[in-house]
Amino acid sequence: MVELLGTRASRKEDPRLLAGHGRFGADVQRPRTLHLRVVRSSVAAGRILEVATQAARDLPGVVAVFSAADLPGDLRIPVRLTVRGIDLSEHLQPVLASTHVRYVGEPVAVVVAEDAYTAEDGAELVEVDIEPGDVLLHAPDADDSRIAADFTLGYGDVDAAFGSAEHVVSLDFHVGRHTAVPMEPRSLVVEVGPDGHLDIYGSTKVPVFNRQVLADLLGMDAYDIRMHHVDAGGGFGVRGEFYPEDFLAPWVARRLGKPVAWTEDRAEHLVAVNHSREQHHRIEVALDADGVIMGLRDDVWHDNGGYIRTHGVIVPELTLAMLPGPYRVPAYSGRVRVALTNKTPCGTYRAPGRFEGTTVREQLFDLAADTLGMDRIELRRRNLLTSAELPLDRPLDALGTDMLLDSGDYGGLMERALSRVDELGWHDLVRQGRDAGRLLGIGVSNFLEKSGLGPHDTADVEITSTGRVRVHSGGTSLGQGIETVLAQVVADELGVAMEAIEVINGDSQLQPYGTGSWASRSTVMAGNAVRGAGQAVAARVRELAGRALEVEPGDLELVAGTVRVRGVPDCSLTLAQVWGASQPSSELLGADEPAGLWARHRFSVDHMTYPYGTHVCLVEVDPGTGGVAVRGYLVAYEVGRAINPQLVEGQLLGGVAQGVGGALLEQFQYDDAGQPQATTFMDYLMPTASEIPDIELIVSEDVPATTNALGVRGAGEGGLTGAGAAIASAVSDAVRVPAVPQLPLSPGVVLGLLAAGARTTRGVEKDRTEHIGSPTID
């Protein structure tokens, strides 16, 4: 049988999705379902004086209206990922605001009605009287009472490095606020059983964790709650965390004893789900006379919005932990202050912390190269870690794990990318364009990713009576193709066709120990868990078949749905026959042996894996409008091993598209009163097919990970991580300035760069200490 690992197997998900047979949260319909609508604050900061609900209650078709006064106490949503023992409890978000509101869009009440239209009409009748308070919109303006966390990471003697450096180059940089916008907004359907049991449809990403949080808040046994698998129209980090609505819909369903459905609209999504990215950096690098890095330090203000949500402060932690990237940095210090402003709370969005940190670091290196009169690529060549320096136990930790860079060839992959750019003739295009008076530029960024965050995941594999295979995975399907990848893994272990395998993800009853799909961990964690369970089932098949065929288990092989003697293909049993031999009535089964062909495997790791890569971007700037057109894009990415190269490529292509959006278009802006200025796609600009160029991909499998048996490094975020940096580098090259001051690079920002020239992005270094940086351009 042909090995399936590494092949471009067709996605198992696609036939049902393309035929319209997918089941999304809002597709689940139950008789007599009630519909929920959330009443949200229209004020960014203030004290709640009254929540008047009588007019809504009087509306025909409205069944109930609830505010915080109806809830059993001051319920707060806990943190899922704790960082450095920091106590964040006083900053957690309540499920409904009771005394104060902290951002426009914060839930204040819910209206429940017989249909969605009446629920929305009823919500408009709820009057929330709020005494406005002071609004904080700029993180660096926060006083101590608004700082949720303040911590540092680092190693080495940073002061000595900067004190003895020949050059010190600094940069001020602002990364704008944006978020993921999946095609499908969030939705939930909750059904209540006669015994109070809850069936919930719509939970994604981390359903087992969400089940436990809900059980704790409701005072229920977690096993009385079942999170059902559904399809999802994208996740990207923001979808599937535990939000206020994840409590409110089940609580209302229990309170009223009827099914409850809730689906957000796009305007709600843009003010309710986690925002991300917004950070202010003051970053500095110390270099010797040859441009070799001696030290690096960064001072970061992280704007986390109104509350701390389930991610805690892992985004700013990842910014600091991953900031040195793939470079040789002898001494490093990073500080971050997490400020609570009056904006939508923040969390993770694809490549959280790394998109921000990579952009800032790579722009600093472009500026440093210009300051030293050195080629941008040469500066990077001199400072990239070499293969001989790996593994490297970098004295940092992230997400509770030490940072062990196990293996890699960072410089070699960069050279492959640059060679391909030469083949594509991009440099010739730039020269010809400039000769014709056009503004073209090429940008480069190197990045280090992290993946495979443990510490564990669990999978079950079972052979059924017909010889088919069922997989119950701890991962969740978010559109990334996890069903296909896990089927490929187990198909290789059991020697069956993909068509004979059913993969079920995200069902908390079928897999109560799953840890979900996030942080590019599905293939690393769920894949290795499935592999372990598949190997255990295969061993059991060989053991029972060996008894039946009177041969040693080691003489058997699993091929095409059968188990047969090597070299004697006619001496075989089907998997269905072996299943029969595993049943309690079988004479081949010992008295104390468990029945069935089933195994559960828990895979755990001590360290993450570290994919890495290079982005190269070709842009053209319109000098009249300041518009930026991306004319060409290349991603070179080391994934260790591609279980399905086609799916890896899809992940990279989608990541680049989101990177273009974050670098050029997407931004949440607020007026002075904290009112969001982007609540529809008229104002929140996203890239379309017209803005995305043809994308060249180099998917490298030269350096398999040493931390897991499959050798996979993860591929979910590398298409995005380096995109902001590469586009910023290309724009700075096109407009002939050493660095840019911020993302996104809107037309106004670019026109400002063109008008101000090099004065806005570069100073003259004096006595190795003068600030060389970039003021923000509005």
| Diameter of the chain measured on Cα atoms | 88
pLDDT tens-digit series, residues 180-232: 999 999 999 999 999 999 999 998 889 999 999 999 999 999 999 999 999 99
Q: What is the DSSP string of 213-237?
A: HHHHHHT--GGGEEEEP-B-S--TT
Residue 777 pLDDT exceeds 70: no
List the 597-604 sheet strands across, edge first: 501-505, 469-473, 456-463, 597-604
Are 179 and 275 in contact by the 8 Å Cβ rule? The answer is yes
Residue 630 CA to residue 443 CA, distance in Å, equals 11
Grade residue 2 by pLDDT with cuts at 50, 70 and 90. Answer: low
Q: Quote the tokens at residue 645.
A: 């190269």
- What is the per-residue pLDDT for 93? 98
Q: What is the pLDDT of residues 390-405, one digit of tens each?
A: 999 999 988 888 999 9
Give pLDDT, residue 460. Answer: 95
| Of 397, 400, 326, the residue nearest 358 (C-alpha) | 326
What spatial distance separates the first Cα and last Cα of the chain, rounded to whole Å?
61
Question: What is the model's pLDDT at position 560?
Answer: 93
User: DSSP letter string over 74-115?
Assistant: --BPPPSS--TT---GGGBPBSS-SSEE-STT-EEEEEEESS
Cβ pair 498, 488 in contact under 8 A: yes
Q: How many CB atoms are located within 10 Å of the residue 351 CB?
A: 34
Q: How many H helices and E strands in the chain? A: 19, 29
User: How many CB atoms within 10 Å of residue 631?
Assistant: 19
Residue 773 pLDDT: 34
Q: Residue 127: pLDDT band by 50, 70, 90 thresholds?
A: very high
Q: Which two tokens stand for residue 38?
A: 């959330």
Interaxial angle between packed helices 482-494 and 527-549, expressed in degrees from 0 to 180 and rounded to the nearest 10: 30
Q: For residue 616, what are the β-bridge partners?
A: 444, 634
- Which class for 17: exposed (0-12), middle (13-18), buried (19 or more C-beta within 10 A)? middle
- Give the contacts of 66 (CB within 8 A, at least 6 positions apart): 96, 109, 110, 112, 248, 252, 255
From edge to edge, which strands make up the β-sheet containing 107-113?
A: 62-67, 107-113, 34-40, 260-263, 187-192, 198-201, 225-228
Amino acid type, 65: V
Contact partners, residue 287, CB within 8 Å, separation at least 6? 165, 166, 167, 168, 169, 293, 294, 368, 372
Which amino acid, one-letter code, is at 771? Answer: H
- The rounded distance, in Å, linking the Cα atoms of 51 and 43 is 14
pLDDT of residue 431: 97
For the entire predicted model, the pTM comes to 0.94
506: left (phi over 0), alpha (psi -120 to 50) or beta: left
In whole numbers, what is the pLDDT of the chain averaged over residues?
A: 93
Buried b / exposed e across 156-165, counting CB within 10 Å, b at 16+? bebeebbeeb
pLDDT at residue 3, as a whole number: 80
pLDDT at 477: 84
Phi, psi of 273 (to 5 degrees): -75, 165
Distance between CA atoms of residues 737 and 777, nearest Å:
14
Q: Rounded distance, CA 323 to CA 726, Å? A: 16
- pLDDT single digits (tens) 83-100: 788 999 999 999 999 999
Give the pLDDT confidence of 300-343 residue by residue, as tens digits: 999 999 999 999 999 999 999 999 999 999 999 999 999 999 99
State both tokens at 62. Answer: 């409205």
Instruction: Check pLDDT > 90 for residue 606.
Output: no
Kindly tell me if the per-residue pLDDT of 168 is higher than 50.
Answer: yes
Distance separating alpha carbons of residues 429 and 440, to the nearest angstrom: 8
Residues contacting 327, CB < 8 A, separation 6+: 293, 380, 383, 384, 385, 446
**Could you tell me which residues come within 8 angstroms of residue 251 by beta carbon, excluding any fewer than 6 positions away?**
71, 217, 218
User: Tens digit of pLDDT for each residue in 729-763?
Assistant: 999 999 999 999 999 999 999 999 998 764 443 44
Among residues 625, 627, 651, 621, the alpha carbon closest in space to that of 637 is found at 651
Strands 501-505, 469-473: pairing kind: parallel
Q: For the purposes of burial, counting CB atoms within 10 Å of the CB of 40, is it exposed (0-12), middle (13-18) or buried (19 or more)?
A: buried
Instruction: Tell me what the mean pLDDT of segment 56-78 comes to.
Output: 96
- Arithmetic mean of pLDDT, 726-730: 98
CA 725 to chain centroid, in Å, comes to 18
Name the percent of the chain lying above pLDDT 90.
87
Per-residue model confidence (pLDDT) at position 146: 97
CA 740 to chain centre: 26
Residue 704 has pLDDT above 50, yes or no: yes
Residue 168 pairs in a beta bridge with 286
Task: Please state, in angstroms and rounded to a whole number, the distance separating the CA atoms of residues 245 and 190.
Answer: 11
Q: Structure tokens of 25?
A: 């949260």
Q: Is the dihedral of CA 90, 96, 99, 102 positive or negative?
A: positive
CA dist., res. 268 & res. 104, Å (int): 10
Residues 651-674 have a mean pLDDT of 97
What are the start-end ranges of the H helices in 396-473? 410-424, 426-435
pLDDT at residue 506 tops 70: yes
Band of residue 257 on the pLDDT scale cut at 50, 70, 90: very high
**Burial bucket for residue 624 (CB in 10 Å: 0-12, 13-18, 19+):** exposed
Give the C-alpha separation, 528 to 533, whole Å: 9
Residue pair 367/169 in contact by the 8 Å Cβ criterion: yes
pLDDT at 719: 96
Note if the bond before 391 is cis, omega within 30 degrees. Answer: yes
- pLDDT (0 to 100) of residue 68: 97
Q: Is the pLDDT of residue 130 over 90?
A: yes
* DSSP secondary structure letters along 675-722: -BS-SSTTTS----GGG---EEEEEE-SS--SSSTT-----SSHHHHT
- The reported pLDDT for the residue numbered 663 is 98
* DSSP letter assigned to residue 662: I
Write the DSSP assignment of 460-503 as a string of letters. Answer: EEEE-TTS-EEEEESS--SSS-HHHHHHHHHHHHHT--GGGEEE
